[in-house]
Structure formats: C-alpha cells, structure tokens
Amino acid sequence: MNIERLLLKVDSLSMDRRRFVKGIAASGVLLGLGMVPARSLGATGTTAPRPMPALSGKKFHLTIAPQEVNFTGRTRMATAVNGSVPGPVLRWREGDRVSLKVTNRLAESSSIHWHGIILPAGMDGVPDISFDGIAPGQAFHYQFDVRQSGTYWYHSHSGFQEQTGLYGPLIVDPLQPEPFVYDREHVVMLSDWSDEDPNTIYAKLKKMSDYYNFNERTLADLIGDIRSKGLAQTWNDRRMWNLMRMSDRDLSDVTGYTYTFLMNGQTPATGWTGLFKRGEKVRLRIINGSAMSFFDVRIPGLKITVVAADGQNIEPVTVDEFRIGVAETYDVLVEPGDDQAYCIFAQAIDRTGYARGTLTPDPSLTAEVPDLDPYPILTMTDMGMETMQGMERGKTDRSSAGKREPAMDHGAMDSRNRVMRRGPAGMGSDAPVIHPKTENGPQVDMRAMHPHYRLNDPGVGLRHNGRRVLTYADLRNLYSTPDPRDPQREIQLHLTGNMSRYMWSINGVRYADAEPIRFRYGERLRITFVNDTMMHHPMHLHGMWSDLETGDGGRIPRKHTVVVQPGSKISYLVTADAMGPWAYHCHLLYHMPAMFRKVVVR
C-alpha cells in the first residue's frame, strides 16, 4: 500500500498543478445548462457557460439518467437530473401542493431526498427508511404540501450517487414579503467532483484513511518547529501526537488531489459568472452540495451580510467570511459599490483547492483570485484535550455579537451524579459527558477527554486570520422561538471513529448493529452531540427542525444540518412533531453508511 500511495503521489506531482487545481477551461459547460448533447464536450470546447436551468410551478417531471461529462480533460459518466449536473433549480412556492414524478433511467435503484423540507415520512426519499427506492426503469410520484420557504437542495440518498452528480438547488418562495430587500439574486451551489469512481475512493480510504492527504509533516516542518518553539516543546508536541497515533493535519478525508471543486457546475478554470449593476443589493443563495468538502467563503472587497441559515431567516450579521459545512445553506446580501468584478472565493478547508465565481457588471471583466490560505494545523483544542482551566475560561467567553456561550456545569461531573439534568431551552446541556461502554472497542481510537461548547470558535484555519468570521454564536432567529418549552429529556450521542481503519459510528456502534432511536410524539427533547473524533461532522436529522442552542432561549435559530467541530460538543432542541421513521446521519458521504441512525417517532 505504501508503494501504491507513492505512485499516486508521483503521478499527482507530475501533473501540471494549475490544471489540477483549476480543472479545464471548457469543463462544466454542458453541466447545469440544460444541454443534453450526444456526447460530452472535450477539453478543446469553446461554448460559453450559461445559467443553470430552472423549473418552477407545482408539477415537475424529473429524469435521473447517465450523462457524459468532462471536468478535467477526461470524459467520465455522471448521474444527471434532466441532463445536467447540478440538476435544475427547482422553484416552489410556500403553501402550494407540489407533485414531482421522478423517473429512473439508471441500471440501479435511485432516489431523491428533499433536504431540509418538512414533509410526510413516505415522501422523504430515503431507501429502506421511508420507501423502497426507485427501481431501474420505474418512476416514483412525490406529492406533498410546502409549509416553509427559503434556500434548500435535493440529492440522491442511494449509494454514492450524490458524488457522481445527483444533486441540485431547491428554492421555496415565501407567501409573505421577505424581511429584507434586494434587487437581484443568484443561486451559488458548491460541490466536489472526482474522475474516480466513488466506490474506488471508498475502497482506498478503507485501506489507508490518509490516502489522499499529501500534507503530512516533513523534515522541513520539524526544523521550523524547533526554531520557533525550541527542541523540548517540539519533542513534547510530536510525542503527544505520535502516542495518540494522530496527525495534526488530518482535515479532510478526500482532498483536491482527486477533487475538482465546482461552483454551479463550473471549474475554477472558467468559474461561474453572475451579473449585477453598480449600487444593486444582490442576494446570493449559497448551498454546499458537496459529498465531502467544507468551504470557507469570502468575496474580497465586499462585506457579506448573512440573513438566513438553512433556509430560516436570522437577524442580519455582517462578516468578511464564513465556513459552510456539507449540506448547509446560507443566504447573504452584498452591495457592490463600484463597476468592477469581484471574486466569490470558496477555498476547501484543507486548502488543497477552491471553487470560484465572479460577480461583475460586465462579462468581459475578471477578478483577481486570492491565494489559498496556509494549511491549517489542528490543536489540542480540536482534540478535545483542553484543560479544565481552559474550559472554565470558556464559560465566560462572549461571542462577537455579545451573546452568552452555553456553559458546562462542572459540578455535574461528580462521579456520583449520573442523572442527565435538563438545562433551560437555549442554554445547552448541563449534563456530564459520559462515554458509553460501547466506545471501548475496535470501532473507536479516540475519545475527547474535555469536550466543551465552542460556538464562538470560527474553527481551525479561521482563527485570528484578520477577517471577521461568522460563528454559530452569531446566529439568532429573526422571530421568537416557535416552541419555547424546556426539554423534557436529553439524548447524548457520541460521534466516534477509528481513523486508521476508516471506521465510523455513533456511540461506537455502526448503523448495521444499532437499534433505532425513539422519540415520543409531541415531546420536546435535547440532542447533545459529543465529537470524539478529529473530523468535522455535519449532522442531519430528517423530518424535524434542529433548534440550535446558542445562549438565547427566546431567539433559537433553526437548522436542518448542524456541524459538530472536532473534540467539541453541541446541543440542539427537537420538537418530535413528525410521525414515522426518519434518517439521522453524518452528511459526509463516506461516513454516512456507518455514522447513521434510524429515528422512529411514535
């Protein structure tokens, strides 16, 4: 395996780095444009990019089928919706009853899940949970009432089809006027593409979890550490990481060494283009539809005002940059004041590549693409190893917005107190962190010893970078909390894994061996996640809102996907108001098969 990886690295380094990171100039032209030619466009094509196709109304006919694509100069087969990758923008209206006939032209079963949409369990689109899937040559008729508005997306929930292109934007227009004004809008969908078959990617990760990580420490790094920290401190740091068999550069399982990062189906070589007129206020509906990639998004020269998270309006927050996890959505407003082009820059969390677009008053204008930030380095905080003294300091931290951070009651950690006590709504859990016995096994190679709330932490690679970065502590519902009840009970779930074996689980138990999690219909309960791994995990509960506890019970923000930072804990409230079976999982595609639970509401 070491020889295989060495050959991969030599092959990667022998490629032209600019082409590798940016893709090819003509790539993505067929994709997201509604064009279905007889064959894919090659690297020499010159067709100009066009907007993503859009469908609106109450009745839709969608076809899932193979489609040739060319993002890198090599023709590959993708999984397209109506002939495009991403699939067409679907536009619904709040209050309507929508009908969607989805036909499967693949040689395997398929599905579409309407991510973040509140609907009956039978319409959720998760095979073996809510329906049987759509067999080859067959169609499924989705039909349900739309009871919300905002920015969402749709994707396959069958195998690894999402990685091969089966995803698209979903916009729901509100019945009432928006609480903010803008002159025009653009949908911005981020994603990751690989020429490799996703089953091959998964097999490589199972054999060697850091297969795609070419940023491990080198001799030059060691020499630099000795010069900056001294020999003793460097030795202690290296000894600690080596004893844990961990790497402080383990940020992404799959990196830009196989991924080409896309914006609306366009590679960085061409980039996506959105128009504006000077002085207009522009709404960007930003969706992370990638399989495995977190992005840090900024527009150099423009302030970004975040007005909605996961389709739900929040009190506006103005920042320079924000991190968007897999499956999250953010609506932002920008106001270009000059007749110049601006770069929408979305760099991968591991800095191995980026997606980009251009906001411009004139298609002939281009914007300078910023350099990638330095490669982030994980710390003991990201390992959940911070001292109790550090945790006490964190209790009194306040976010940049001045809101109180939920604090851990250290008195509750007395070994005699094993009762999960219920803190008030919005303030987070005051229960002790208890590692279940099932974490003691081959599924788990790490446990966070001192996990705590880090809602006001922008995360590794964004701390102290000189830019104002959005954090979860900044999110405050624009409206009063719909269900202000305190939680009646709490469920503590540990996100677990064995990195060297690429084994993922919840509470040390993989999905195949797990019992369902049971909610009582109508109850208000708290979910507390403890991340016992070094990875970010975007956790998605189907069918119900996740009301994120940020320290203000009166304005709890609602989300459908909650990112749990490495070595941390986070809490949110759930109102169990949706009968039936539901999926509950990490949205990293190659974690999902095992880091998954079935939730049953009765």
Contact 284, 47 (CB under 8 A): no
User: Residue 245's pLDDT is what?
Assistant: 56
Q: How far apart are alpha carbons 566 and 382 in whole angstroms?
A: 5
- What is the rounded average pLDDT of the residues 269-283? 96
| Encoded tokens for 284 | 């960007």
Q: Could you tell me which of 356, 336, 334 has the C-alpha nearest to residue 345? A: 356
Write the pLDDT tens digit of every residue in 217-228.
Answer: 555 665 566 667
Domain spans of the chain, in order of start: 2-179, 381-601
CA atoms within 13 A on the CB side of 463: 12
Q: Which residue has the higher pLDDT, 40 or 314?
A: 314
Q: Count Cβ atoms within 10 A of the Cβ of residue 174 and give its class: 0-12 exposed, 13-18 middle, 19 or more buried.
A: middle
Angle of helix 231-243 relative to helix 219-229, nearest 10 degrees? Answer: 130
| Encoded tokens for 240 | 């600690």
Averaged pLDDT of the chain? 86
Domains 2-179 and 381-601 in one fold: yes
The CA distances from residue 317 to 309, 331, 401, 475, in Å, are 11, 11, 9, 8
Q: Report the DSSP beta bridge partners of residue 188.
A: 286
- What is the rounded average pLDDT of the residues 20-33? 46
Contact 404, 459 (CB under 8 A): no
pTM: 0.87
**Residue type (1 letter), 519:** F
Q: Could you tell me which of 261, 234, 247, 223 has the C-alpha nearest to residue 376? A: 247
Residue 17 in this model has a pLDDT that exceeds 80: no
**Pairing, β 489-498 against β 354-360:** unpaired
Q: How large a percentage of the chain has pLDDT more than 90?
A: 73
| Contacting residues for 57 by C-beta, under 8 A, at least 6 apart | 91
- What is the rounded average pLDDT of the residues 269-284? 96
The CA R_g of the chain, rounded to the nearest whole Å, is 23
- What is the rounded average pLDDT of the residues 64-90? 97
Q: How far apart are alpha carbons 504 and 523 in whole angstroms?
A: 29
Q: In what order do the strands lie in the sheet with 97-104?
A: 75-81, 59-70, 97-104, 139-145
Q: How far apart are alpha carbons 305 and 403 in whole angstroms?
A: 18
**Rounded to a whole number, what is the largest CA-CA distance in the chain?**
71
**Residue type (1 letter), 292:** M
Q: Which residue has the higher pLDDT, 18 or 449?
A: 449
User: Residue 13's pLDDT is what?
Assistant: 41
- What is the rounded average pLDDT of the residues 85-95? 98
- Where residue 46 falls among pLDDT bands split at 50, 70, 90? very low
Choose the weakest-confidence range: 294-303, 434-443, 474-483: 434-443
Q: Could you tell me which of 154, 93, 454, 151 has the C-alpha nearest to residue 309? A: 151
- Where residue 242 falls among pLDDT bands split at 50, 70, 90? low
User: Residue 38's pLDDT is what?
Assistant: 29
Q: How far apart are alpha carbons 56 and 58 in whole angstroms?
A: 7
Residue 400 in this model has a pLDDT that exceeds 90: no
Quickly tell me which residue has 């082009």 as its tokens.
341
Strands (E) located in 96-138: 97-104, 113-115
Quick one: 381-601 is in which CATH superfamily? Cupredoxins -  blue copper proteins (2.60.40.420)
Q: How far apart are alpha carbons 413 and 356 in whole angstroms?
A: 47
Contact 221, 249 (CB under 8 A): no
Quick one: 2-179 is in which CATH superfamily? Cupredoxins -  blue copper proteins (2.60.40.420)
3-state SS, residue 65 = strand
Containing 394, the helix (H) or strand (E) segment is helix 388-395
Which of the 8 DSSP states describes residue 58? S
SS (H, E, C) 421-462: CCCCCCCCCCCCCCCCHHHCCCCCCCCCCCCCECCCCCCCCC
User: Residue 24's pLDDT is what?
Assistant: 61
- What is the rounded average pLDDT of the residues 47-75? 90
Strands (E) located in 224-362: 259-263, 272-275, 282-288, 295-298, 304-309, 312-319, 321-324, 329-334, 342-348, 354-360
Q: Can you say whether residue 34 is alpha, beta or left, with left for phi > 0 and alpha for psi between -120 and 50 degrees?
A: left
Q: How far apart are alpha carbons 378 and 249 in whole angstroms?
A: 6
Write the pLDDT tens digit of every residue in 559-601.
Answer: 999 999 999 999 999 999 999 999 999 999 999 999 999 999 9
Residue 488 in this model has a pLDDT that exceeds 90: yes
Choose the weakest-confidence range: 114-118, 169-173, 416-420, 575-579: 416-420
Residue 210 in this model has a pLDDT that exceeds 80: yes
Choose the weakest-confidence range: 105-114, 358-367, 380-389, 533-542: 380-389
| Encoded tokens for 269 | 């070589």
User: Residue 428's pLDDT is what?
Assistant: 94
Write the pLDDT tens digit of every residue in 113-167.
Answer: 999 999 999 999 999 999 999 999 999 999 999 999 999 999 999 999 999 999 9
